[in-house]
Structure 1
């Protein structure tokens, strides 16, 4: 690879990393709003409607698509690096929210202390729960992805994409809800419903993002003249 292509590959990696970190931080800040989306009508399974979920899950499919793409093109180590960067970004954003929550609002502030605390007051515990779940899920995603890549000799991209995402999303959904209920941010009686609905939503999105992964991998391989199992080194 010539220097020009290497520089381009570095820039793309930094852009993907930025999108990943932004998606992660935003999801940690907006999680307290729940919404409904009924693409299959008001169908239910064990009392869980498809779908009634937190808006915090909306950016998550993007993060797993990005880590799968980075894993495929840049390798396992680069994928782990961006995950670790996301953890530090979440901790930093948590610190900013903590300070903002403790400084007094002026009289006439559009957002007063009560409203700000209501929205962000539980962010510390929620972000902690989210980070622990996310950390486990993302590293599992990368490990499972490369396990199936090795098993399939780099073929059948859809297998490693979906199997890694399904496994990691199950871990993420279960762990974050478990911690949120444990810290009494959510009542235990909604655990089962939110798990089924949240996990089903993530599975649905995982299936939808597979064609996009194929497209992006195809573009990368064509642009950088990569053969099967080739990875770009940007160090």
Structure 2
């Protein structure tokens, strides 16, 4: 005879399972939003050489966003994944609004400024919006010029790429009838990251390119480096995706 739980115990088990599932979703959402926010905060403030690739430092954590959305798609479904992408889009607007507010409010009197608030530039510095900075420049003004355009570009690329990733993931899942986990993980990510890479670089550096600040070759190197890095990360995360999907489905008691 099969043992059954009394109603109180069954309710406690169900409550524990629901809490477990919400905790995992919260962790995945937190990693997603943190990685996305880092892209906008540190953005193009520094370029790093990673082997043959020239990358904006903000790109380094960004591939984690696609791993998180794929895991949420697999475990929680399309509706939850789209909800998280929408929250991320709203946070992009929040970041842009905070930066604009900081630029709008008058700074303190020059005598009260801390020494690091003002930079003294020895030569003209070209900025991503096509303008130049020279002489004494406030650190925030320089950061605003460096990141505001990048945040706007990121918003456009983010919206297209993340919704594309969620839609393609479920397209491949339906097409394969839930089989071949690697296929929907890789195909959805590789295509959506191509959209993200080319959009974010072309919008961020479009004004500089049109003004003659960078050459076509340099623009293509940035696009290619951006995509090759994300493509490599997408292929490498197949193993972690399989492992986490297997472990989390058991932990969360999902079929």
- TM-score for the superposition, normalised by structure 1: 0.86
Q: Which of 83, 103, 107 is the matching residue for 1:104?
A: 107
Secondary structure, counterpart of 1:184 in structure 2 = helix
In 2, Cα distance between equivalents of 1:58 and 1:223: 29
Determine which structure has greater relative contact order: mean sequence separation of CA pairs < 8 Å that are 6+ residues apart, divided by chain length.
1
In 2, Cα distance between equivalents of 1:177 and 1:222: 40
Q: Which of 7, 18, 21 is the matching residue for 2:30?
A: 18
RMSD: 1.7
Residue 129 of structure 2: aligned partner: none
Which one has a larger percent strand, Structure 1 or Structure 2?
2
Offset at 1:25? 1.3
In 2, Cα distance between equivalents of 1:84 and 1:183: 28
In 2, Cα distance between equivalents of 1:13 and 1:109: 43
Residue 8 of structure 2: aligned partner: none
In 1, Cα distance between equivalents of 2:205 and 2:34: 26
Residue 131 of structure 2: aligned partner: none
Q: Deviations over 1:49-105 (max 9, x none)?
A: x21111121121110000000000000010000000001111111111222234415
| Equivalent pair of 1:61/1:205 in contact (CA under 8 Å) | yes
Secondary structure, counterpart of 1:143 in structure 2 = helix
Residue 35 of structure 1: aligned partner: 48
Secondary structure, counterpart of 1:154 in structure 2 = coil
Q: Between Structure 1 and Structure 2, how many residues are aligned?
A: 216
In 2, Cα distance between equivalents of 1:178 and 1:51: 17
1:195 lines up with 2:223 in the alignment = yes
Larger Rg: 2
- TM-score for the superposition, normalised by structure 2: 0.79
Secondary structure, counterpart of 1:225 in structure 2 = coil
Structure 1, unmatched stretches of 5+, are 39-49, 228-235
Structure 2 vs 1, CA of residues 57 and 96 (structure 1 numbering), >3 Å: closer, same or farther?
same
Residue 132 of structure 2: aligned partner: none
Offset at 1:211? 0.9
Matches for 1:195-234 after TM superposition, within 5 Å: 195-227=223-255
